[in-house]
Structure 1
Amino acid sequence: MHVFSTASARRGLGALLGAIGLQGALGCNTITGVDALRFEPCAPSYSSMTVTEEIGSDGGSAFHDACPEGEVLVGLQGGVNGPILSGISGICGAVRISEASPVEITVTAGEAMPTVRGVMSSEEPESRRCPPNEMVVGFSGSTTLYDPNAPRPILWRVALVCAPLVIEGPHEAASISLGETTSTPSLGGAEDAGDTFDPVPCPENQVARAIQGRSGLLVDALGLGCAELSLACPWARSGSEE
């Protein structure tokens, strides 16, 4: 929303935008020399979370682990017990909006969530992360029957589907879309074993912000919590509009 506090400020809109360019129009700086006009910082904003299909069985207990506010899922850390994926935790990253033109979205990857679903095992945990500045938008993999006498599949291996976010269009009508997807190597058991399932994507133009599913001693089921990201770059005033 464009807000101006004086008539002279309104008349100077064209000159102002020409002087500050895209960087100033997208925010992140206080604009001086114009009465009571400033730009608020750009920040990522997310829609309500939706959930994907969960792959696996109804064993174990349900879990839902969401990334901190403003962050997205960028990877998984997992433990392998023999040939089996025994436990997982999500890895989140903070989304940043550049102040320079052209505007870019970057992701600063953090550490794995402290909560482990399943058992990380005594072996050194492995991690699978999206390429730099990409985030999780789906997953693929396979399941297996851990106990042939109990027809409840568990997660055998998982690979992440990743994509960058791309800003298109002028700043006053910018839109965000997903770029080309890539896949990480699998985490867990061998790729030539288990029952492969079709890739599970987030809804269109949404990115993952949570892992969810069911777990006990192993990972019984896995799904994603997804949301659409948009840019919040409001213009605000510090005084009363005349």
Structure 2
Amino acid sequence: MDAGEKGMARLRAANLLMATVSLALGAPVPAFAAGDAYVEAQGGPGGGRFDAPCPDGQHLIGLELRMADDVDAARAICGVFSGPITVARYSPVGDWHGGQGGLPTQVMCPPRTPVVIGMAVQAEGVKTVVVNQLALFCGVVGPGQIMQADPSAVVYGPTANYTTDIVGLPYNFVKSSQKMVACPANQIATGIHGRSGTWLDAIGLVCAEPRIRPGIGRINRDKVPPAQRVSICDAAKAARARNAPTAPKLEAQCLAFQNQSRPSEPTIDDALRADDIPGRAGAVIKADPMLVALRSYVAETDRQGFDLGIASSEGQTLWGPGKQKIYDGLSPSGQRGFRTATSFALDRNRNLQLATAGAAIAQADPNLAESRNSDPDPRYWLGFDIAAGIFGDPALGGRGNTQSGPGSLGIREALNPTSQRGFNAAMKLLLR
């Protein structure tokens, strides 16, 4: 990365430390409102700079993406607001930032909290670190917004993994980062900026004070009358009935909203304040044979991070700021254990019914059981169980799908790579 691509953040002095902005050689300076705050782009170090503000008076309500193994390209989806949650009109804005690969998808804030106020960015890779996962934290158009413990909407790319040489030593270590970006106090997102090339290398937010245009008629983003507004869970059910590719993501968002609505359930921040995280993790692990097996499978040096990951993922389906705070404070070995635990726990929590049904189906069939247990990694078993729940016999609790499609493949693509291998093995056996 040359000097002209460094330092993209122009942060408002009242809220954040001022960073030096060095511009690409010969590149013109984009015109932005004087009050715009640049929240530092997170991701890998490569790519060329881009700035993508919403049109004047509009706010960021989501992202249009092209995705495959990673986020190939992105552009902002911006909307005009006539009230705190009333979107008068919205559309994708400007050019794509990134390459030409990947399939189109969108990640959008929900109707009750329709504007972006923060974002979690995961980036990883072996030689080239690029954006792999994005989670939006959403609010309303107004001052004093507070980010919730879990994101409002999320898109996943498969987690990268290292491979080993013939004596089992890793030789292509995965570089990764997981960072939060949030608008300064009393501001909300009004665009994106970052770096891109063949992929989306890094992404950050442009933020400003809320802007509402009174008198503009609202549009119905759900394409139904206001009295018939569709909840995220109803949308998930409808998508599943159509076998739509968005079904897994909608189901994950539904479960996250359900978890947030249970006041008796500890939040991630509660877990951070608790003094007995190791004890809590121990109780959870001892009661779960797969967690016992997975903890034994990871390196001893990684187990403290593993225990923290299990404790912080209890009842959770998505990455959030609490997990990020724990992760950032760990050593490299602790981070490895934490990521192993959280990726397994979050994948299973998102697909708990499928995994439970699939495990019973696999154990009832000697051929399936032999294939499932042929790999010693419990993450492989998890992927196998999820696929068995999708393609297994309905009489035994499976869905009985007779072929793969966007829905089942979307579930697979959201899993970690080891679980994807198990998923593929079960799918091959059950669909032959």
Q: Equivalent residue for 2:204?
A: 223
Question: 3-state DSSP class of the match of 2:87?
Answer: strand
Question: 3-state DSSP class of the match of 1:178?
Answer: coil
- Kept in 2, the 8 Å contact 1:164–1:180? The answer is no
Q: How far apart are the structure 2 equivalents of 1:192 and 1:160? A: 21
1:76 is aligned to 2:59? no
- Kept in 1, the 8 Å contact 2:144–2:185? The answer is no
1:47-126 map, 5 Å: 48-81=35-68, 83-97=69-83, 105-121=85-101, 123=103, 125-126=104-105
Shift of 1:153: 2.0
Q: How far apart are the structure 1 equivalents of 2:100 and 2:109? A: 21
1:177 is aligned to 2:144? yes
Gaps of 5+ in 2: 1-32, 162-173, 215-432
Residues 83-128 of structure 1 deviation map (CA, whole Å, 9 limit, x = unaligned)? 111111110010114xxxxxx55223512124101125253x1001
Q: Equivalent residue for 1:164?
A: 140
Shift of 1:210: 1.1
Q: How far apart are the structure 2 equivalents of 1:57 and 1:122? A: 19
Query: Are the structure 2 counterparts of residues 131 and 78 from structure 1 closer, same or farther at C-alpha, using a change threshold of 3 Å?
Result: same
Q: How far apart are the structure 1 equivalents of 2:199 and 2:41? A: 15
Residues 42-79 of structure 1 deviation map (CA, whole Å, 9 limit, x = unaligned)? xxxx8710111211233111000010111000000111
- Kept in 2, the 8 Å contact 1:78–1:188? The answer is no
Alignment partner of 1:186 out of 151, 154, 157: 154
Q: How far apart are the structure 1 equivalents of 2:212 and 2:60? A: 18
Q: Which has the higher helix share?
A: 2
Q: How far apart are the structure 1 equivalents of 2:137 and 2:42? A: 15
- Kept in 1, the 8 Å contact 2:81–2:211? The answer is no
Gaps of 5+ in 1: 1-45, 98-103, 167-175, 234-242
Moved more, 107-116 or 155-164: 107-116
Q: How far apart are the structure 1 equivalents of 2:57 and 2:63? A: 18
Shift of 1:212: 0.2
Shift of 1:230: 6.0
Question: 3-state DSSP class of the match of 2:184?
Answer: coil
Q: Which has the higher strand share?
A: 1
Query: Are the structure 2 counterparts of residues 158 and 109 from structure 1 closer, same or farther at C-alpha, using a change threshold of 3 Å?
Result: farther
- Kept in 2, the 8 Å contact 1:128–1:184? The answer is no
Q: How far apart are the structure 1 equivalents of 2:110 and 2:134? A: 16
Q: How far apart are the structure 1 equivalents of 2:118 and 2:183? A: 5
Q: How far apart are the structure 1 equivalents of 2:147 and 2:180? A: 16
Question: 3-state DSSP class of the match of 1:52?
Answer: strand
Shift of 1:196: 5.0
Alpha-carbon RMSD across the aligned residues, in angstroms, is: 2.7
- TM normalised by structure 1 equals 0.61
Instruction: In structure 2, give the amino acid aligned to 1:153.
Output: V
- Kept in 1, the 8 Å contact 2:141–2:212? The answer is no
- Kept in 1, the 8 Å contact 2:43–2:130? The answer is yes
Residues 123-162 of structure 1 deviation map (CA, whole Å, 9 limit, x = unaligned)? 3x100110115200110031112xx3x4x52111111110
- Kept in 2, the 8 Å contact 1:52–1:225? The answer is yes
Query: Are the structure 2 counterparts of residues 52 and 178 from structure 1 closer, same or farther at C-alpha, using a change threshold of 3 Å?
Result: same
Q: Equivalent residue for 2:183?
A: 202
Residues 205-238 of structure 1 deviation map (CA, whole Å, 9 limit, x = unaligned)? 21010100000010111111101226799xxxxx
Q: Equivalent residue for 1:9?
A: none
1:139 is aligned to 2:119? yes
Q: How far apart are the structure 1 equivalents of 2:146 and 2:87? A: 14
- Kept in 1, the 8 Å contact 2:190–2:205? The answer is yes
